[in-house]
Structure formats: structure tokens, C-alpha cells
């Protein structure tokens, strides 16, 4: 168990809808990272937050946004969903400058 909790485990929704994925980092970790894993693109870094502030952006679409709250949990919001957004979304956390610990992911299916 990595100590990183993601909810829900599975999510099925329709095109055009909006969903929110939730992540609770390991106790003491200030950094939260979001990654998308799809069959064609593999694992792609989306965004990083550190202690509530955005730290780095990767290949995140404008339809996607994230935030990190004062209690350090993070949410990834995906809107105007398209079929191609179907993927596994992973959250990871770390102590700054140390290695990542991944959650088990949320599997999103857009129909």
C-alpha cells in the first residue's frame, strides 16, 4: 500500500459531461502529481501541485483543471469529456525532491 488514496476506482460517464477525481496524498507529502495512462499515449504527466500551489504543467488539456486544498488533498476536474479521454488517471505524491508514490488510479470510461 503506497498510502496514496484515489477515489472513485471506476467512473463511467457520457461524452460532454464533467467529472471530478479525488486524491489523498501520503501523510506528510506536500507534492501531488496527476498522470494519465492510455493505451496509445502511455503515461503522461499532467500537472503538479505543491502545498496548494501549481508547480508544473505537462500535457494537460484546457478542458482539464486541478487544485490542491489546504488539507493537501487534490482534485482533477475533467470537463466536456470526449471518448479519447477514457484512460487511467493516476495521482502520485512525494516529499519534495524525493521519489513518487502512486495511487491505484481511477479508471475513466467515456461512452
Partner 1 sequence: GEDVEQSLFLSVREGDSSVINCTYTDSSSTYLYWYKQEPGAGLQLLTYIFSNMDMKQDQRLTVLLNKKDKHLSLRIADTQTGDSAIYFCAESIRGGSQGNLIFGKGTKLSVKP
Q: In the complex, which residues of this chain contact partner 1 (CB under 8 A)? A: 2, 4, 31, 33, 42-43, 45, 48, 55-56, 58, 90, 92, 94, 96-105
Q: Copy the grid coordinates of residue 8.
A: 472513485
- The residue among 14 and 28 lying less far from partner 1, judged by its C-beta, is 28
Cβ contact 110:15 at 8 Å: yes
CB contact set of 38 (below 8 Å; sequence gap of 6+) = 44, 84, 86, 87, 88
Q: How far is the CB of 106 from partner 1 (least distance, A)?
A: 11
- The residue among 9 and 18 lying less far from partner 1, judged by its C-beta, is 9
Q: How far is the CB of 45 from partner 1 (least distance, A)?
A: 5
Q: What is the rounded CA–CA span in Å between residue 6 and residue 105?
A: 6
Amino acid at each position: 500500500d503506497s498510502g496514496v488514496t484515489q477515489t472513485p476506482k471506476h467512473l463511467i460517464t457520457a461524452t460532454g459531461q464533467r467529472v471530478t477525481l479525488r486524491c489523498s496524498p501520503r501523510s506528510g507529502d506536500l507534492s501531488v502529481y496527476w498522470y494519465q495512462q492510455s493505451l496509445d499515449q502511455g503515461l503522461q504527466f499532467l500537472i503538479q501541485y505543491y502545498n496548494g500551489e501549481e508547480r508544473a504543467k505537462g500535457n494537460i488539456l484546457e478542458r482539464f483543471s486541478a487544485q490542491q486544498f489546504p488539507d493537501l488533498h487534490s482534485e482533477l476536474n475533467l470537463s466536456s469529456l470526449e471518448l479519447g479521454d477514457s484512460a487511467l488517471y493516476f495521482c502520485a505524491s512525494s516529499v519534495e525532491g524525493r521519489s513518487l508514490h502512486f495511487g491505484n488510479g481511477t479508471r475513466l470510461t467515456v461512452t
